[in-house]
Amino acid sequence: MELIDRYLHAVKFWLPKAQAADIIAELGEDIHTQVDEQEHELGRELTSEETADLLRKRGRPVLVANHYLPQQYLIGPLFFPIYKFVLKIVALCCLVPWVSGWLALIVASGGRDFHGWVVRFGSMGSSLWSTAFLSAAVVTMVFAVLERAEAKSHFMETWDPRKLPPVRNPRKISRSCAAVELAVTLVFAVWWAVNLSSAVLDLPFARITLSGTWTYFFGGFLAVMLGSAALAAASLIDPHWTVRRATAKLLIDCAGAALFCWLLGVHIVAGIAAPDLTPIQAHELADAINLWAARVMPSGLIIGVIAAAVNVHRIRRLRMGDQGRAGTVNGQANGPTPYASPLP
Amino acid sequence: MAQGTVAANPETFENLRGELRRGSLVLAVLSALRHEQYGYTLRKALAEHGMEIDEGTLYPLLRRLESQGLLASEWREQDKRNKRFYRLSKEGKEILKQLTAEWQSIDSSLRAVWREQGHGTDRPVPTRG
């Protein structure tokens, strides 16, 4: 019986003071009745182990008490999906600058100092953790306040369906974006063709001589620009993504990224001549530019890989959409419907 | 597995079954309390009729129904021990009448839906697998 008293005492700890005595009296009576009944069936008193087993079946004291408490949430089911969505964005906002900063440090160190990477990773990791923890705490507090405000005013029940965002069609290309892209690409291509066809650049303050490989870069980048312009023109005429067009975009972006990385690593500056610089200073400046270009190359590579991944994702999504349409029965698509986020 | 059969997830079934039965607990408790009883005997009576309910659910439910004015309770001594006896209040009797009508309406609606499914019977669609 001492075990039952201890159990009831533990349950009482979690109960609201005003009702605790009443609840415990009823719960105690229920347990004692059950014990009496079992003892009557067995014809003897319950052992300590049997009493413990009976109480174990009733559940932990805190869980038993919890049944009597009003249901409370820090963040309830109404706000939880929005809370989770915001936390994901916050996590992304914390992680992206951190990874970028770490990569930038690797690049700046010339990619050789492995021990330095690890030390920086550790020190930046601790700052990331504190930033992420603080951000998550602030978001949680804001949502907890919203939860309580909603419980009082029910402001989430007032909404206007007309303010929902329009359904976004992932196949659709904005004509205005295509027009801007076409104009900018053409202007840049013309400027490129007029000013950079020669391997010797006459600038107002210096003369820069590029290495012999420049001819390939000049032609390669011009071809990439013309390809982009053609793609933008096609999007202007028919503003919809197709698998073929997305594949062309992937090839153009990959070619541009490969050319850019190659340009950074090829020591493109052969010489610099400037009135204010001695030949030795000019040589050192050319070397420094080439060195920094080589150090930036990994960043260029990462950007290229990200661009390629975005394009591959687009192709995959378009292919899935095509398969969905192929399975269309009586005008009802079986594939995924491209609904936009329901968040206003 | 035979073609066309689908193996039902036992856990999913248990969750849905629990949800379905929880919805009918209030009606079962109110119905059983047309005659005065205390918690332990009420739980046993419900269990004997196939409505198993654990004490962690029953007692908070009884308190809630009492706070809503559907039940009245009284501490009384029986077998040398104080017990709390519950019975339906006047309002509880009225609510029980309405809930019973609602239950019967749901029952007949479901039977109509099953009939419309082309089984030509009041029985639910048999599950396979």
Is A39 part of the contact surface with chain B (CB cutoff 8 Å)? no
Please provide the average confidence, as pLDDT, over all residues in chain A.
86
Task: Give the DSSP per-residue string, chain B.
Answer: --TT--PPPHHHHHHHHHHHHHHHHHHHHHHHTTS-EEHHHHHHHHHHTT----HHHHHHHHHHHHHTTSEEEEEEEETTEEEEEEEE-HHHHHHHHHHHHHHHHHHHHHHHHHIIIII-SSSPPPP--
Domain ranges of chain A: 2-67, 80-160, 175-326
| Segment among A73-77, A105-109, A283-287 with least mean pLDDT | A105-109
- Do A30 and B55 lie within an 8 Å CB cutoff? yes
Per-residue model confidence (pLDDT) at position B128: 42
CB contacts, 8 Å: A23 with chain B: 59, 63
Shortest distance, CA A43 to any CA of chain B (angstroms): 18
- pLDDT one-digit tens code per residue, A239-267: 999 999 999 999 999 999 999 999 998 89
pLDDT value of residue A334 = 43
Pick the range with the lowest mean pLDDT from A71-75, A154-158, A319-323, A333-337.
A333-337
Instruction: Report residues of chain B scoring pLDDT below 50.
Output: 1-3, 127-129
pTM: predicted TM-score of the whole model, two decimal places: 0.60
Inform me whether the pLDDT recorded for A335 exceeds 60.
no
ipTM above 0.90, yes or no: no
Does the distance separating the beta carbons of A30 and B56 come in below 8 Å? Answer: no
Using an 8 Å Cβ cutoff, are A147 and A155 in contact? no
Query: What pLDDT does B44 receive?
Result: 93
List of residues 6+ apart from A149 with CB closer than 8 A = A155
- Which residue of B40, B57, B60 is in closest CB contact with A30? B40
Cβ atoms of B52 and B59 closer than 8 Å: no
Strand pairing partners for A271?
A209
Express each pLDDT in A81-129 by its tens digit. Answer: 999 999 999 988 888 877 777 777 666 665 566 677 677 677 777 777 8
Show which of residues 147-166 on chain A sit within 8 Å of chain B, judged by CB atoms: none
Give CA–CA dist A143/A84, Å, rounded.
10
Alpha carbon of B93: minimum distance to chain A alpha carbons (Å) = 24
CB-CB neighbors (< 8 A) of A32 in chain B: 81
